[in-house]
Amino acid sequence: MSGYPLEGVKALDFSRVLAGPFAGRMLADLGADVVKVEPPDGDSTRLWGKMVGGISGYFSYANAGKRNISIDLRADGAKDLVLALARCADVVLENFRPGVMDRLGVGYGALSAVNPRLVMVSISGFGRNGPDSHRPAYAPIVHAELGLIERAARRGGMRQDLPLSAADTNAGLHGLVALLSALLMRTRTGAGQHIDIAMMDATLATDDQVHFELEDAEETRNLPPDIWETGAGPILVSADFRYLWRLLTESGRVSDPQQPGMSLEAKIAARRGAVAAFMLSLADWDAVEHAMALMNLAWGRVRGGETLRAQPTLKARGAIVEIDDGAGGVRPIAQSPYRFSAAASGVRGPASRRGAHNSDVLRDWLGASQAEIDAWLDRGVLCVDAAPDA
């Protein structure tokens, strides 16, 4: 192992909620020194999820491994402090609405003036230019605007948001790809740049079904996979029913129940009933796996979230790990998905309370004295939460 790939990279993360923080979390997992710059009122996700040691589950998920300083960007002297930090940084992440950082005096123009090598990633719902740029956006807004909610309802569901924030994590991951590309380019040019990531663009680009919509070709799509009840529990089988039917009948495992004179609808219903009976006859998971393997079919157990720790692949790969919970124990978190042959990666510590690393970061990055740090605290530029047991 030769250490973490991004060791030595310094990142200021001004972002909140998920799209930006998720990109910052991945940077931290890859070894960057990611400093979350949190406002006095805190990231709203501090209120979401199970509270342990004063930290919510959602905030832990998106901010583990980062150091935390809290700056009131509207306070007198805050701009100068941010500019000083930007001189030392390689990366800045932010997901305010376009123009907010500029109005605070810490937009890309101001930051790049003191550090031309800086790479800044701005993530917003609708991008920096265009008729909707002024609108606030969270993942559900993008899911609605891109037709994902309507598509799910049309395909047999109902009009409700997706069960995960796909637009946020897509934007975060595409932002990460662009950021790493810009850092690589900087090694050739010596110059940084500003990256504009719209959640709309990122989600559209990651939607493998959108061509059916753009070309009005819904009728050409493959049949969706079916979920069947087995004797062991429900499974999803990734096969067009027509193909599954052919495999089962040609192997003699299922006989065709159709009768002369049956309508097409009745014939389909009878055949699906025969397959359902076969699936239900598989008494345990060994029988399920054996039957699927004989047909060379991809399948998955439809499991509840409470069983994730027991999922064999997640367990074998250490995909769920325990980190310090700040209260004398540990709490679970998803591990970094990156597995290198000659480098390390992985969550490197818990999420922190607001302002927990004010002094450490300012000493490490700026060489600030305690008197300077105290002065920033006294003037309200820096903020800090009391420890949970205080």
Q: For residue range 42-98, what is the model confidence (pLDDT) as tens digits?
A: 999 999 999 999 999 999 999 999 999 999 999 999 999 999 999 999 999 999 999
Question: For the whole prediction, is pTM greater than 0.95?
Answer: no
H/E element, 84: helix 78-88
pLDDT on residue 317: 95
Mean local confidence (pLDDT), 373-379: 95
Is 324 a known active-site residue?
no
pLDDT on residue 223: 82
Give the mean pLDDT of the chain.
Answer: 94
The pair of three-digit structure tokens given for residue 4, joined into one six-digit string: 């973490």
pLDDT on residue 390: 43
pLDDT on residue 385: 87
pLDDT on residue 326: 85
Q: For residue range 342-372, what is the model confidence (pLDDT) as tens digits?
A: 999 999 999 999 999 999 999 999 999 999 9
- Angle CA(88)–CA(94)–CA(97) in degrees, nearest 5? 145
The pair of three-digit structure tokens given for residue 164, joined into one six-digit string: 């995960």
pLDDT on residue 156: 86
Q: For residue range 103-136, what is the model confidence (pLDDT) as tens digits?
A: 999 999 999 999 999 999 999 999 999 899 999 9
Domain 10-211+311-383 has CATH 3.40.50.1980: no
CATH architecture of 222-306: 2-Layer Sandwich (3.30)
User: Ramachandran region of residue 203, left (φ > 0), alpha (ψ -120 to 50) or beta?
Assistant: alpha
DSSP characters over 37-78: EE-TT--GGGGSS--BTTB-HHHHHHHTT-EEEEE-TTSTTH
Does 386 score more than 80 pLDDT?
no
pLDDT on residue 389: 56
pLDDT on residue 224: 86
The catalytically annotated residue of 168, 196, 325, 385 is 168
Does 147 score more than 60 pLDDT?
yes
User: Any idea where the domains of the chain sit in the sequence?
Assistant: 10-211+311-383, 222-306
pLDDT on residue 274: 96
pLDDT on residue 130: 87
The pair of three-digit structure tokens given for residue 152, joined into one six-digit string: 């799910």
